[in-house]
Amino acid sequence: MRMHHGKTTAAVVMVSALALAGCSGGGDSSGAPGAAACEPSNGPVELTYTAWVPGMDQVVELWNEENPDIQVTVQTGPNGNAGTYRNFFNQLQAGNAPDLGQIEYDALPNFRVQDGLENIAACEGIAEASDQFIDWTWSQVTFGEEDAVYAVPQDSGPMAMFYRADLFEQAGIEVPTTWEEYAAAADQIRGEGGYIHNFQRADVNWFAGLVWQAGGQWFSSEDDGWEVNLTGEESMQVAEYWQGLLEDDLVSTVPSFSDEWNASISQGEQWTWVSAVWGTRHLQSAAPDSAGKWAVAPMPQWEEGQSAASNWGGSTTAVLKGSDHPYEASQFALWLNTDPEALALANELGGLYPAATAGADLEAFSGKSDFFGGQVVYDVFAEATQNVDPEFTWGPTMTQTYTDVSDGFGEASQVNQPSWRPSSALNSKPLSR
């Protein structure tokens, strides 16, 4: 049974961004908007940069060779949500945060409301760099504020649909281009003994990506705070769509990124995966046997003829509050994320798909991929990047939101119970800090 919720329950969560900013301990908080002056320091400068992209130290080595007066030390830790963000907040409180930190787009608002970021808009070349980056990534780092740049976009995760070209062809099923066709194909695929997709209940940001594509918004920043609304029209549309697939047993429900899931992929049980650009690497390692059988197509659309895409993942390089050298730090961040040589190395070693528009021209993205049957897969992703809605904003309570929604999915995920219910998961938990 499907429930239809006409009323939208919006929860105003943040008391006030400014009030919170006033509470946080780190650095000097000049409450007024607009960037402070950003002047170079005298003499040699040493910067620290905390990130978890593998091989980042080698990328930074390039910078250190060219800039003897601005030496950067890379410190590597666990993923942001696995501990590094918590550490950043602790360090901001203690006043010993690194000069620069890697922060994902969905975590950036949390740092902003807790006043953990330096506004680097006045630093040389930063504000002018806006046209060097993919539109939607730039709107993430400015929060729509005037004279404000709080981080430099690093990488992005444009989404598309991986699919088993061989299986679709054998079964004579058309590769779906709309979500309607996708649901129909799901039915046929179930008849063939496979699943069209796996419902990734722990990956709420995957689900958010689907809502993003549908034009939904979870957060909006108002004058007096943040508004959170998980049950807008588009969110409910997406939730009910997947709920339908779940109820009809057309999607599998194994934990994502688990051995079980990898096995399911390599056994050919998973026919499609709507995922981000970094999924190319994951598929190749999870299912090396299926090389040559995969292909990539744009995400299915809600309305025929559209070309809306979405994004899953991606980071920024932020100058953290209290840095003694915001000018040098901002120059490094800009170089790191726009210099072709740095971008190429970060892609090679860390698998980053650059947020800089020039990144699409990298040699690594121009070749045909044998794993994907000779397709130039990155063309699909480069196009997807252009079709990501720049209006989507993340909120300051993402960690909490992810936990709440994932718990909601989890409660609904008892197999053989008629309550597989992403939509009620979105409804059940009002957000709270």
Partner 1 sequence: MSTPTVPLSTAEKIHSRGPRESVMSRAAAMLIMGVFTLYFLTPIWWLLVTSTKAGGEITRTAPLWFTPNSISTFFANLIELFQYQDGLFIKWLANSALYAGAGALLGTIIAAMCGYALAKYEFKRREIIFNVVLSGVLVPATALALPLFLIFSEVNLTNTYWAVFLPSLVSPFGVYLARIYAAASVPDELLEAARLDGAGELRTFFTVSTRLMAPALVTIFLFQFVAIWNNFFLPLIMLRDQALFPVTLGLYAWNSQISQIPELRTYVIIGAFVSIVPLIIAFLGLQRFWSSGLSAGSVK
Nearer to partner 1, 79 or 414 (CB): 79
Rounded Cα–Cα distance for residues 409 and 276 (Å): 21
In terms of CB distance, is 244 or 351 closer to partner 1? 351
Contacts to partner 1 from residues 17-36, by CB under 8 A: none
Helix, strand or coil, per DSSP, at residue 153? strand
Closest distance to partner 1 from the beta carbon of 69 (Å): 22
Q: Considering the complex, what minimum distance in angstroms separates the CB of residue 64 from partner 1? A: 16
Closest CB to partner 1 among residues 121, 265: 265
Nearest distance from C-beta of residue 350 to partner 1, angstroms: 7
> Strand order in 225-228's β-sheet?
11-12, 225-228, 219-222
- Binding status of residue 96 toward partner 1 by CB under 8 A: yes
H or E element that contains 142: helix 135-142
How is residue 410 written in tokens? 């989890």
Q: How many other C-beta atoms lie within 10 A of the C-beta of residue 239? A: 26
Element containing residue 273 per DSSP (H, E):
strand 272-276
Min CB(269)–partner 1 separation in Å: 12
Element (H, E) at 60: helix 56-66
**Residue 95 contacts partner 1 per CB under 8 A:** yes
Q: Write down the least CB distance from residue 323 to partner 1, Å.
A: 15
By beta-carbon proximity to partner 1, the closer residue of 87 and 375 is 87
**Cβ 154 to partner 1 shortest distance, Å:** 13
Site mask for partner 1 (CB under 8 A), range 208-247, x = bound:
----------------------------------------
Which residue's CB is nearer to partner 1, number 283 or number 360?
283
DSSP designation for 78:
S
Please check whether residue 75 is in contact with residue 50, taking contact to mean a CB–CB distance below 8 angstroms.
yes
Site string for partner 1, 42-81 (x = CB under 8 A): ------x-x-xxx--------------------xxxxx--
**Contact call for residues 332 and 49 (beta carbons, < 8 A):** yes
Restricted to residues 249-308, the positions that interact with partner 1 (CB under 8 A) are 257, 259, 262-263, 266, 278, 281-282, 284-289
The binder of partner 1 chosen from 71, 93, 177, 178 (CB under 8 A): 93
Say if CB 323 and CB 400 are below 8 A apart. no
Are 327 and 39 within 8 A, CB to CB? yes
- CB within 8 A of 154, min separation 6: which ones? 102, 314, 315, 316, 317, 336, 337, 352, 354, 355
Q: How far is the CB of 36 from partner 1 (least distance, A)?
A: 25
Residue 360's alpha-carbon distances to 213, 366, 372, in angstroms, are 21, 8, 19
Closest CB to partner 1 among 50 and 424?
Answer: 50
DSSP three-state, residue 15: coil
Q: Quote the least distance from Cβ 65 to partner 1, whole Å.
A: 18
For partner 1, the closer CB: 88 or 199: 88
Residues 181-201 as b or e (16 or more Cβ within 10 Å = b): bbbebbebbbeeebbbbbbbb
Please give the residues from 371 up to 390 whose contact with partner 1 meets the rule CB under 8 A: none
User: Nearest approach, Cβ of 244 to partner 1 (angstroms)?
Assistant: 28
Which backbone phi and psi does 59 adopt, to 5 degrees? -65, -45
Q: How many residues bind partner 1 (CB under 8 A)?
A: 37
Structure tokens at 171: 């079964």
**Residue 303: CB partners within 8 Å, gap ≥ 6?**
178
Q: Which stretch binds partner 1 (CB under 8 A): 89-97, 116-124, 303-311, 329-337?
A: 89-97
Residues of this chain that interact with partner 1 (CB under 8 A) are: 48, 50, 52-54, 75-79, 82-83, 86-87, 90-91, 93-96, 98, 257, 259, 262-263, 266, 278, 281-282, 284-289, 350-351
